[in-house]
Amino acid sequence: ILNVEQSPQSLHVQEGDSTNFTCSFPSSNFYALHWYRWETAKSPEALFVMTLNGDEKKKGRISATLNTKEGYSYLYIKGSQPEDSATYLCAFNSWGKLIFGQGTELSVKP
Amino acid sequence: GAGVSQSPSNKVTEKGKDVELRCDPISGHTALYWYRQSLGQGLEFLIYFQGNSAPDKSGLPSDRFSAERTGGSVSTLTIQRTQQEDSAVYLCASSFESGGLNEQFFGPGTRLTVL
């Protein structure tokens, strides 16, 4: 059974804080790792698709790194803003279907 | 262009009734996926379609669940004799092709509540 774990489960930060969370996944038979951002009452929005060990991707204030050998990925948010409040999901790509972690719920207070 | 749409957005039903959830994928997307999120759980894969065929239906939790896709477009997920544990948000996603690194685009979901 493929297991994807995310930590922490929830995070409360002040506006302007930088934060990061972790996704761990099976290191064998790795194909790709996806990060999504899911705001309440909206559709999950794709952030990154990561494939190569050592990969680093960036979109604005959000960036992610990937270590396929040890089976983890970090998502970083620099200078958090209230609009960053959402659940951040990682998903292990298993032959095209996505195996999701339980997500990290981020709340940014003004 | 239009994204993935799902209907209804909310559905409240009584235990034992059948429900149908609908998904309209992005035009031209050949692959379609169903996931669900139960309370306190992560998003869980149910089934995916490539065209009208379902190569992987391993995530369907019981034989009360079925799904079909017609014309390579719209898909319906049917739950027969609903139970309270079926209450969840059901999400549909589509991608240009199945497998590979094709990004999956999600719809807004259907929130199902079984009383």
pLDDT in tens, A44-70: 999 999 998 899 999 999 999 999 999
Phi and psi (nearest 5°) for A82? -55, -35
pLDDT of B69: 96
CA-based nearest distance A28→chain B, Å: 17
CA-based nearest distance B72→chain A, Å: 18
Q: Which of A43, A49, A99 sits opposite B101 (nearest CB)?
A: A49
pLDDT of B103: 85
pLDDT of B40: 82
pLDDT of A105: 96
A93 touches chain B (CB under 8 A): yes
CA angle B5/A43/B31 to nearest 5° reads 55
CA A55 to chain CA centroid, Å, is: 14
pLDDT of A96: 79
Q: Which of A7-21, A70-84, B38-52 has the lowest mean pLDDT?
A: B38-52
| CB contact at 8 A, A46 and A72 | no
Name which of B100, B94, B60, B101 is nearest B74 in CA terms: B94
Mean pLDDT of chain B: 93
- CA B8, B11, B13, B17 torsion-angle sign: positive
Answer whether B103 sits within 8 Å of A49, measured CB to CB: yes
Rounded to an integer, the average pLDDT of A66-89 is 96
**Torsion angle of alpha carbons A87, A90, A91, A93, nearest 10°?**
150
pLDDT of B97: 77
- Decide the pairing of beta strands A10-14 and A104-109: parallel
CA B85 to chain CA centroid, Å, is: 16
**A66 SS3 class:** strand
A9 touches chain B (CB under 8 A): no
Residue B41 has pLDDT above 60, yes or no: yes
With contacts defined as CB-CB under 8 Å, which chain B residues touch A4? Answer: 42
Q: Determine which of B43, B50, B60, B106 to mutate to test the interface with A (most A C-beta atoms within 10 Å).
A: B43
**Torsion angle of alpha carbons A8, A12, A15, A17, nearest 10°?**
-40
| CB contact at 8 A, B112 and B19 | yes
Q: What is the pLDDT of residues B64-85, one digit of tens each?
A: 999 999 988 999 999 999 999 9
Q: Which of A49, A93, A97 sits opposite B56 (nearest CB)?
A: A97
A71 touches chain B (CB under 8 A): no
Residue B21 has pLDDT above 70, yes or no: yes
Q: CA-to-CA distance for A76 and A17, rounded, in angstroms?
A: 11
Say if residue B61 is exposed, middle or buried (CB neighbours under 10 Å; 0-12, 13-18, 19+).
Answer: middle
Q: Where are the alpha helices (DSSP H) in B1-115?
A: none
Task: Dig out the tokens for B75 from the structure.
Answer: 């898909």
Q: Which of B35, B98, B109 sits opposite A96 (nearest CB)?
A: B98
Tokens 């705001």 belong to residue: A39
Q: CA-to-CA distance for A79 and A110, rounded, in angstroms?
A: 12
In the Cβ-directed half-sphere of B47, how many Cα atoms lie within 13 Å? Answer: 22
